[in-house]
Amino acid sequence: MMSSTRQQPPERGDSPLICLGSADAPLPPLPHTPTSSVVWDKILSDMNVESRELRRAIEKRAQRIAVMEEELHKLVDHNAGVMLAIERVDRQIKEVLEREDRLHHLAATAKKRKAKLQLDLEEAEKKLLSLAEYDSPAKSASILLVSPSLRAIADKKHQLETDRINKEKHEVAELQRKLYDAKSRYRKLCAENKKLLNALSSMKAEEREIISRRNENSVHNNSSNSESRIEFRAALQDLMESLEEVIHAGKRRF
């Protein structure tokens, strides 16, 4: 009676493990041998261990990708702040350069006025000297005192203009130094972004290698385990695509 209900064993060349890889084919019956239950229990146990290892590896990669995505968001925000600071410094430098041009123009005008005033003073001195010849010595001395006082006023105005120009030049130099520092920080952030992208590419390559290695052993898994792995791979792919979108968004922004 038992021999009539026993099914035929698989033909030569057909492996029960290969049948497990098909989602449509039913599980083959266990051969009625003394060691068949032990062998199948070991195979199922190995499959469960591999599934748990793959799940842990994918969860670990997902956590690393989440951390890297958060760091990338911070870098993008920091880059935006640096760009705003650079634009603000550029505007300040432009304004200072325009003020410097105006001051140079004013300094040139003041210099011309000083030269003209000097000529006027010399002519006035000559006239005063000519008039002093017909006046008393006391009056001529008082008249000659006027020329140094006027010259002192002109020198003071010229010194004030010179001080203003020097102050503006110092401000321009300070703003240029700030702009250089901001650009240096921006280049450093770009280098960090590049390292982050390289690390992401390395993680993707490592993940593909792990999945490929696990797929080689997936022939021994049943259809439920295969569906579970597909779901994990799809979730991981979604995470990778979201991180790449954030990276490309950061690139387009800068």
Confidence of residue 233 (pLDDT cuts 50, 70, 90): low
Q: So what's the pLDDT on residue 2?
A: 40
Which is higher by pLDDT, 168 or 128? Answer: 168
What is the pTM assigned to this prediction? Answer: 0.34
Q: So what's the pLDDT on residue 154?
A: 64
- Residues 97-125 have pLDDT tens digits of 887 788 777 777 777 877 777 787 777 77
- Position 215 pLDDT exceeds 70: no
Cα–Cα distance, 100 to 92 (Å, whole number): 12
Confidence of residue 190 (pLDDT cuts 50, 70, 90): confident
- Residues 124-160 have pLDDT tens digits of 777 766 665 555 554 545 544 545 555 666 677 777 7
- Position 74 pLDDT exceeds 50: yes
The mean pLDDT of 83-94, rounded to a whole number, is: 83
Rounded to an integer, what is the distance from CA 226 to the centroid of its chain?
40
Which is higher by pLDDT, 8 or 133? Answer: 133
Give CA separation, 131 vs 114, 122, 140, in Å. 25, 14, 8
b/e burial code for range 98-123 (CB count within 10 A of at least 16 → b): eeeeebeeeeeebeeebeebeeebee
Percent of the chain with pLDDT over 70: 55
- Position 188 pLDDT exceeds 60: yes
Structural domain spans, the chain: 74-253
Cα–Cα distance, 42 to 1 (Å, whole number): 30
Q: So what's the pLDDT on residue 232?
A: 63
Confidence of residue 252 (pLDDT cuts 50, 70, 90): low
Q: So what's the pLDDT on residue 108?
A: 78
